Homo-oligomer: A and B are copies of this chain.
Amino acid sequence: MSVTIRDVAAKAGVSATVVSRVLHGKALTIRVSETTAQRVRDAAREMGYRKNVLATNFRERQTMMIGVLHGVGGGRPRFDAGSRYFASLMDGIVDGAFEHDMSVTLCPKLLGQSPEDAMSDGRFDGLIWYSDISIPENHLMIERCSVPLVLLHLPGTLFQNRFPTVCCDNQQGIGLAVDHLVSLGHRRIAFAYAPYSLAGEGFVRKRAFEVATQNAGNAIDHAMLIELSTDLSLIESILKSSERPTAIITWSEWPAARIMSIASRLGLKVPHDLSVIGFDSTVYCESLSPKLTAIHQPLVNMGRKAVGLLVQSIHGEAPNPPDVILPCGLDIRESTTIAPKKVIKL
C-alpha cells in the first residue's frame, strides 16, 4: 500500500522504533545518533513517507479534533440565513481551535438520531456544546457525555458544575440597555420574552431586567414583562393599547425585528413612537430598517474562550475558574431614540 514506518526502517537499516523516534519524536526512552537520524530522514524523504494519522489516532487515543454540537430539536444552525449569531460563534471556535492546532468538525450524527455515539466514541478529543434548546433529550446527552465538554450559554449549575461554561454577562448587558433607555427619558419599559426562552438564558435576562429596572428606582414608572406566544401574535394587542410601553427590550435578535415590523404595520414609527433593543448584535441588525440597537455579546471571543477551556480540560487541567463570563456591549443604532412626548392613539 503506502509506505510505512517499517519500510523506511528497512531502507535505512534500522528498526521501526528508531524511525518513530526520529520522524515523530516519540519513543523518548531511546537514543539515536545524529548520523542514523539523518539516514532515516533521507530514506523517508526518498520514499515519500507520510505518517498515517489514522494509526496514530488509534494508538494514541486522540484526534486533535473538536466537535461542535448543538443538540437535537430545532434544526441545524445555519451560517448564511437569518442572524449571524452562529457564524460569529463558529469563527471564534475556529480561531481558538487553530491556535491549538486542532481542527473543528461539524458532525451529522450529533444532530440526528444517535448523537451519543459521536459524543463518546473518541472521535473528538473534546466537544463544545452550543445550544439554547433546553429539552430533556439534550440534558441527558450532556450528562452522559464522557469526553471533555464545554458549554456555551448554558449555566454550569445545571450539571453540578461538571463542565466549564462560557457565557456573556446577561445582567450587565441588560443593565446597559435599561440605562440607555432611561437616559433617553423612557419611563415605560418592557422586556419581551417567550416562555420557551426561559429554559435558557432568557430566564437570566428577564431576571436581569427586573433587577435593572428596580435599581433605576423612580426613573421608571412602569417596568413591564411581556410574555409572548411563539408567533409573537400577542404583541399586536399590547402595541394597540394606550398603556403600551415606549420601549421594548427583547430576549433575542429576531423578535426585535418582528416587533419592529409589526409596529410599523400598525402605524407606529420606530424609533419615534417606540424604541426597540434586541439581544445579540450581529451584522443582521445592520440589515434591518431601522437598524437595530442591540446588546452585543462578544461571540467571537466566547467561541475562542470556550476552546481555550476545552483544551485545558482535555489536558486534564481543571480550568479555574470553570465559568467564564464575558462582558456585553451596547451597539446603538437607529431603533432607539428619546421617549415620545405623547403616546399616539392607534
A28 within 8 A of B: no
Question: Which residues from B are CB-within-8-Å of A123?
Answer: 53-54
Judging by beta carbons under 8 Å apart, are B287 and A65 in contact?
A: no
* Complex-state Cα separation, A286 to B257, whole angstroms: 15
Judging by beta carbons under 8 Å apart, are A54 and B58 in contact?
A: yes
Selected from B58, B61, B86, B94, the residue in CB contact (under 8 A) with A76 is: B94
Within 8 A of B (CB), among A88-131: 88, 90-91, 94, 97-98, 101-109, 111, 117, 120-123
* Complex-state Cα separation, A79 to B299, whole angstroms: 12
Question: Which residues from B are CB-within-8-Å of A91?
Answer: 78-81
Q: A52-B121, A121-B53, A300-B80 are in contact. Are A102 and B108 (CB under 8 A)?
A: yes
Q: A53-B123, A283-B287 are in contact. Are A65 and B98 (CB under 8 A)?
A: no
Q: A76-B98, A94-B76 are in contact. Are A51 and B108 (CB under 8 A)?
A: no
Question: Which residues from B are CB-within-8-Å of A101?
Answer: 108-109
A63 within 8 A of B: yes
Judging by beta carbons under 8 Å apart, are A103 and B107 in contact?
A: yes
Question: How many copies of the shown chain assemble into the complex?
Answer: 2
Selected from B58, B105, B283, B299, the residue in CB contact (under 8 A) with A58 is: B58
A45-58 CB mask vs B (1 if < 8 Å, else 0) is 00000111111011
* Complex-state Cα separation, A299 to B117, whole angstroms: 31
* Complex-state Cα separation, A94 to B106, whole angstroms: 8
Judging by beta carbons under 8 Å apart, are B84 and A88 in contact?
A: no
Q: A88-B79, A91-B80 are in contact. Are A51 and B117 (CB under 8 A)?
A: yes
Q: A54-B63, A54-B123 are in contact. Are A105 and B108 (CB under 8 A)?
A: no
Q: A79-B79, A80-B84, A108-B98 are in contact. Are A55 and B53 (CB under 8 A)?
A: no
* Complex-state Cα separation, A299 to B65, whole angstroms: 27
CB-CB nearest in chain B for A122: B54
Judging by beta carbons under 8 Å apart, are A51 and B121 in contact?
A: yes
* Complex-state Cα separation, A299 to B81, whole angstroms: 13
Chain B proximity of A245: nearest CB distance (Å): 29
Judging by beta carbons under 8 Å apart, are A80 and B121 in contact?
A: no
The contact sample of 8 A-B pairs, CB cut-off 8 A, is A53-B117, A54-B122, A55-B58, A79-B86, A80-B87, A80-B300, A97-B108, A102-B108
Beyond the given pairs A101-B109, A102-B108, 5 more chain A to chain B contacts, judged by CB atoms under 8 angstroms and listed by A's residue number, are A54-B123, A103-B106, A103-B107, A104-B106, A283-B283
Listed in ascending order, the chain A residues whose CB lies under 8 Å from chain B are 50-55, 57-58, 61, 63, 65, 76, 78-81, 84, 86-88, 90-91, 94, 97-98, 101-109, 111, 117, 120-123, 282-283, 286-287, 299-300
Closest 3 CB pairs of A and B: A79-B87, A103-B107, A58-B58
